[in-house]
C-alpha cells in the first residue's frame, strides 16, 4: 500500500468507525440502555481487569478530572467501585467493575449486537465476506497479541507499534 493509499484508508476508518459507534449509541440511548456512551467503553475495559484512574484517563485520552467525573457517575449507578490497591498504597485508587456493572455491560452489549445485526442483515453473502475480511485485517492491525501466561495464570496484551503483513 502506498502512503497516499494508506492515508485514504486512514481517512475512511476515521469516518466510518465513529459513524458506526454514533449510530449504535443513538439506538442505545433511544432504548434507554446507555446514559453516556463513554461509560460503555470504560465498563468494557474494566471488565477485563481493575485499572487505576490514571490508566483509564490515559487510555481514553482525557484529563484526570474528566475521568474522575465519569467514574463518580458510574459509582453512583453502582457499576464500578473504588478499591484499595494490593500494596495498600493510598495514593493509587483502583477502579473495578461491580456485578451490577457487569450486568449493565452485558445488557448494553446484547442491545448493541442486536441493533448491528438488524443493520447488517440485508447484506448479501459477498458483501458480508468482504466485511468480515476487512474486520479481520483491522483486528490483526489493532488488537495487541497476548503475552505468555504469567505465574498468576493471566495473559496481558503486548504493546507493539505496527503491524506488517
Cell of 77: 449507578
Evaluate if residue 160 carries a pLDDT over 50: no
Which has the minimum average pLDDT: 32-41, 49-58, 59-68, 116-125? 32-41
Q: What is the DSSP track for 87-126?
A: T--TT-EEEEE-HHHHHHHHHHHHHHHHHHHHHHTT--HH
Is the distance from CB of 83 to CB of 96 less than 8 angstroms? yes
| pLDDT value of position 161 | 40
Confidence of residue 92 (pLDDT cuts 50, 70, 90): confident
pTM for the predicted model, two decimal places: 0.67
pLDDT in tens, 110-152: 888 888 999 999 999 999 999 999 999 999 988 877 655 545 5
| pLDDT value of position 152 | 55
Q: CA–CA separation, 78 vs 5, rounded Å?
A: 46
Tell me the sheet residues that pair with 82: 95
Q: CA–CA separation, 143 vs 159, rounded Å?
A: 10
Amino acid at each position: 500500500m502506498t502512503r497516499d493509499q494508506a492515508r485514504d484508508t486512514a481517512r475512511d476508518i476515521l469516518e466510518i468507525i465513529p459513524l458506526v459507534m454514533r449510530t449504535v449509541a443513538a439506538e442505545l440511548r433511544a432504548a434507554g440502555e446507555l446514559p453516556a456512551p463513554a461509560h460503555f467503553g470504560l465498563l468494557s475495559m474494566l471488565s477485563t481487569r481493575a485499572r487505576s484512574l490514571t490508566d483509564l484517563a490515559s487510555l481514553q485520552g482525557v484529563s484526570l478530572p474528566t475521568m474522575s467525573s465519569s467514574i463518580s457517575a458510574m459509582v453512583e449507578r453502582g457499576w464500578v467501585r473504588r478499591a484499595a490497591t494490593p500494596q495498600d498504597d493510598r495514593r493509587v485508587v483502583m477502579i473495578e467493575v461491580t456485578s451490577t456493572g457487569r450486568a449493565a455491560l452485558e445488557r448494553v452489549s446484547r442491545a448493541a449486537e442486536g441493533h448491528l445485526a438488524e443493520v447488517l442483515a440485508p447484506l448479501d453473502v459477498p458483501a458480508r465476506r468482504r466485511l468480515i475480511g476487512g474486520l479481520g485485517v483491522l483486528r490483526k492491525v489493532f488488537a495487541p497479541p497476548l503475552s505468555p501466561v504469567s505465574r498468576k495464570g493471566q495473559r496481558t496484551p503486548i504493546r507493539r507499534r505496527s503491524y506488517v503483513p
